[in-house]
Structure 1
């Protein structure tokens, strides 16, 4: 790459990244899936090869054959700013500590007031940077630990990655102890550089280290739990494979006690738990006023309003008296049996029958039709007809 091909101002850099944000976003999202084809990148920038060449010449993209990649410095910057980096940079904290030691030495050896103030500011900034990077490494460690356990499909790789993360956890803890030791041993510097800003920075960094310690303790515990779960799952997988092999060889019943185990197990544990509502008895509600007051307080606390009810008028003495209502319905079978024992024709018998209620001629005609329909085989038709109140009816006797 040409030595002159670099961004000279922040404005030039941000404008270039803003103009090509669609391409960079697309490549960043797919950085783990594939190498980005140059043809697709050219299509995204509207077929303008000069725009693509500018990104390559200025070191934003790297061309490898017919594919493109985001340059490692920009890729690390994007991942770190967006908190999606998978690498735990313990060395960066160690570099801060080493630089911190150097600047403290420079401060103690310097005689010029202005340059000493510059070294003092550098130490304060490095302390803040050390605390910030330590907390960031802890957060990245926690995220990578969870992602490894949940997304890594290979059991061996999953366990190995968790063990490596555990080692990095111990490394971060060692860095914290080293920085705390440095802050405790360099009393001469902190006495000479005693100002409110430095004191506040030291207090903040120590607080960050305490938070990091607590988080690392939880991470160590969780890593142990994850590794134990992986071992248990691996053992279970091996047992299942062995059972599968014995089943295929028709030896599972003779070589194992699986039948006895299945018989001894109670399948009810797989059922969902049944919950039953406890209802208060009406007697308790009527006899104990305290229960009613408690229920009203609970209803008011939960915003349940009592629905208004309209009370009915009290019953009068007339309402309480016994009243009998006679129905017009009769038993057709009873009427037919009485008709069969008589010598009247059917319609005449219906007119003469002793009913409990008063009936109209329409009711008699309806009953006549019902009896004929219900007993067609027992009716004797004479072929003669008669008339009663403008109603013509056939003369029918019982057989």
Structure 2
């Protein structure tokens, strides 16, 4: 098998055959792609198919074509649609970081130290991305397994295996957090720069978000396993009863008649609902599901549509603009006008025109406010006077 000469040839080839590759990728699970269908998408040019086979992009299996596993895995990883969960990547990357930390601490040459540091930064970013994708993949696989797996034993076994992977992800998250927070103090003290600090902050955020999702996945798996157990026990009892009924021994070997006569309320007992949400892949790809959707849509069309009640017209009185004016007392303005007089402050405020009614107690309060707020601009004398039972000091402008 030949390889591409350079990245330019690879990109141009993928661009030229984008119709074929996109079609084969989208149908990688539903159908086996025939050679006759593929030749139409390359303008009946067999040389273009031979070129793809020769470069290892696709491979031929009898009369069928399929994407090579290497390119298929690449597309699934880039588009984040892979269903295989490979947690060994995270464990391997942690080991690589520890090794390169030792290399960094032992190295005296600045260029080589920088290369080790660069690798550590790249690997830390990779761990965050891989962990986040692994959590998403586990959650998606848990839902798909519960909704699409027909065999109850396999469904239960797959969910238990996914729970083990969830536990492994949780342990790897704890190891990574321990590595960047407690284990390698010497390295992070020596090598910490702005970029590394930003990478660590982002990594901690990603790992904590993954930890929260891991808890939700655990609850979901427990709930699904309980539902499977309940459904399995019910089906097992149902099979036994059907076996006895088919052999006409149900009345002889069981006390079903006696139980039915004693349990009259069974007809009115609330049934346990076990709702199942259909997966999107099943709805998109299964013809029977599509027929069911069309039937439901037709029933919805036939339903009587109730017209919503229209509210009464809003009265024009509520739409009129009404302006309320309120005269505010400006202490700054009072101070400025008082500074231009020779009167004492108490007498000035008692005779001041506020353009609204202000009683004696309010004017006394204003006297106190101006005296305290503008103390530096006023001269307070030791002479006092009394007015309406209120004793006050004589205050003059400086």
Please tell me whether Structure 1 or Structure 2 has the larger radius of gyration of its CA atoms. Answer: 1
Aligned residue runs from structure 1 range 10-159, under 5 A: 10-159=7-156
Distance 1:238 1:7, change over 3 A: same
Deviates more, 1:25-34 or 1:129-138: 25-34
Deviates more, 1:99-108 or 1:70-79: 99-108
Q: What are structure 1's unaligned runs of at least 5 residues?
A: 271-301, 309-399
1:261 deviates by 6.2
Distance 1:212 1:307, change over 3 A: closer
CA distance in structure 1 between the aligned counterparts of 2:153 and 2:270, rounded to whole angstroms = 33
CA distance in structure 2 between the aligned counterparts of 1:12 and 1:113, rounded to whole angstroms = 37
* 1:366 match: none
* 2:206 match: 208
Distance 1:304 1:121, change over 3 A: farther
1:122 deviates by 1.7
How many corresponding residue pairs?
274
Q: Choose which of 158, 175, 178 in structure 1 pairs with 2:175.
A: 178
* 1:267 match: 268
1:34 deviates by 4.2
Q: Choose which of 207, 230, 233 in structure 1 pairs with 2:231.
A: 233
1:246 deviates by 2.9
1:71 deviates by 0.9
1:129 deviates by 1.0
SS of the equivalent of 1:265 reads helix
Distance 1:17 1:242, change over 3 A: same
CA distance in structure 1 between the aligned counterparts of 2:81 and 2:4, rounded to whole angstroms = 26
1:105 deviates by 1.6
CA distance in structure 1 between the aligned counterparts of 2:230 and 2:6, rounded to whole angstroms = 56
Please report the TM-score for the alignment, with normalisation by the length of structure 2.
Answer: 0.64
1:90 deviates by 0.2
Please report the TM-score for the alignment, with normalisation by the length of structure 1.
Answer: 0.64
1:67 deviates by 2.4
Q: Is the 8 A contact 1:253 1:259 kept in 2?
A: no
Q: Is the 8 A contact 1:85 1:140 kept in 2?
A: yes
SS of the equivalent of 1:47 reads coil
* 2:375 match: none
Give yes or no for the alignment of 1:242 onto 2:243: no
